[in-house]
Amino acid sequence: TGTPKGIVLTHGNLAAFSDWAIGQFGLTREDRFFSLAPLHFDLSLLDVLTSQRLGASVYLVGETEALFPGPVAMALERQRATVFYSVPTTLQRLLSHGGLADRDLGALRWLLFAGEVFPAPVLAALMEAVPEPGYANLYGPTETNVVSCKLLDAAPELGEKPNVGLPCPHSDISIRDEHGNKLATGETGEICVAGPTVTQGYWRRPDLTASAFSDAPDRLYHTGDYGYFDEAGDLRYLGRRDRQAKLRGYRVELEEVELTAMDTGLVEGAAATVADGALCLHVVAHDPKAFAPSALTRALAERLPRYALPDRVEMHEAFPTTSSGKVDMQALAECAGGTDA
């Protein structure tokens, strides 16, 4: 997303998250954590700090090993891991290119994911291929760590708004309008978070801290994510403020275009960028030789309004990823000749 910025965490921030994770997932010293996330990524706080707090073992995947899905899947089996916390893009690569379905993962108790929306068809395929563990979708920006959790018995339905679950006991989540007023159930606004996991701000960046955090009456982090609470009390995630684009006079949610493309079943990966007022849909095909962009465009036309249809479809063998394993949207935008909107 630009120049990296440090985030200041206190011991209290870490303890509040760790206490919750231990209780929520019944973690003990008998667990074996599988740590694929780099140490600068907040997912590693569970793998490294919580495992050592319990006196449990943790396997640190090597930097070179992490580049190849096959060896990672083999290590997951060999280490008899019981807890694996990763991002959807990485899990998709392990499923499609790592032979994950052929591994004996009977020891795995929990497969946790966070950081990105997990396309329903891919999640369903993963849950079918690796049925042993419990699955949980964790939500929370790095500035707050995890603040909500959805335990999954099955993948969500196609077209369902991403469900990131109930607020954690330590988090106070509110939906607010542009003036900071709280909104009612069902109303869409910015997701804001208060509670003991909310961090101190950005290291030596008081300007950024002031723009994202407020202190009255309680310390509040404005996530830049949009969503709403449904009637069951679950938080529904609708996308990033900075991933909304104005195209042809209409506001287009880029994440909605991506999820709709995945729901067609015609591609195994989709990412949308905007360049010079044109919407580019980047895809990874199941079978590049058999893939027809026109078939995808027709399928999208049945599901999306005309103004949200991509101006062009660009195929990739695989998406570039960031050091934390997420899709590198900036790199995709640059190869399309513009910037992500």
Rounded to whole angstroms, the Cα distance separating 272 from 283 reads 9
Rounded to whole angstroms, the Cα distance separating 4 from 316 reads 26
Task: Answer whether residue 140 shows pLDDT above 50.
Answer: yes
In the chain, list all ranges with CATH 3.30.300.30.
Answer: 248-335
Question: Under CATH, what is the fold of the domain 172-240?
Answer: Luciferase; domain 3 (2.30.38)
Question: Residue 120 corresponds to which tokens in the numbers above?
Answer: 């329903």
Question: Under CATH, what is the fold of the domain 7-165?
Answer: Rossmann fold (3.40.50)
- Number of other residues whose CB lies within 10 A of the CB of residue 338: 15
b/e 82-96 (16+ beta carbons within 10 angstroms → b): bbbbbbbbbbbbbbb
The DSSP 8-state label assigned to residue 206 in this structure reads H
The residue-averaged pLDDT of 301-324 equals 92
The pLDDT value recorded for residue 1 is 46
Q: Which range, 31-35, 40-44, 305-309, 323-327, is most confident?
A: 31-35
Question: Residue 198 corresponds to which tokens in the numbers above?
Answer: 């909310």
**Is the distance from CB of 183 to CB of 176 less than 8 angstroms?**
yes
In the chain, list all ranges with CATH 3.40.50.12780.
Answer: 7-165
pTM across the whole model: 0.85
The CATH architecture that domain 248-335 belongs to is: 2-Layer Sandwich (3.30)
In the chain, list all ranges with CATH 2.30.38.10.
Answer: 172-240
